[in-house]
Structure 1
Amino acid sequence: MAQRITSVVNSDQIIVLNEGKIAGIGTHEELKESNKIYQEIMKSQLSEEEIA
């Protein structure tokens, strides 16, 4: 379990939770492209250079 994107970016599978419910499952690249909640977390934690 982690709250920082940098801690999970290389994980085989990431589960995104929102209000205690599963909001997405996938790799960093999959979630980066398709999951709004994951994208919001990325924007709040990473610089523009790190996101690209």
Structure 2
Amino acid sequence: MLILDDSTSALDAKSEKKVQEALKTDLPDTTKIIVSQKISSIIHANNILVLDDGELVAQGTHESLMKTSEIYQRIFESQKGKNLFASEE
């Protein structure tokens, strides 16, 4: 098990994407718990937990949370235009 607590917060989108790719390819069978305020860090996670004031308010994939969680949608929209997401090249 690997626990990462806001480990990519100081990285630009391109560097963060390299870290994510390395975690996926180098540790494919390792359970990863990623704590992050940046949706770009967890957007491809199998399961995302959304906390508000320490309380679990939503859970699911990015796609399901975009349909069902108003708070997750607001966070995503607030980050969308801030160059946090690496382009899919």
TM, length-normalised to structure 1:
0.86
One-letter identity of the residue aligned with 2:41: S
**% same residue:** 38
The alignment partner of 1:3 has SS state of coil
TM, length-normalised to structure 2:
0.52
1:37 equivalent in alignment to 2:42: no
1:25 equivalent in alignment to 2:54: no
How far is 1:31 from its partner?
Answer: 0.2
How far is 1:28 from its partner?
Answer: 0.3
CA RMSD of aligned residues (A): 1.2
As a proportion of its length, which structure holds more helix?
Answer: 1
1:9 maps to which residue? Answer: 43
Aligned residues: 48
CA distance in 2, matches of 1:11, 1:3: 14
One-letter identity of the residue aligned with 1:39: Q
The alignment partner of 1:25 has SS state of strand
- Rg (Cα) greater in structure: 2
Gaps of 5+ in 1: none
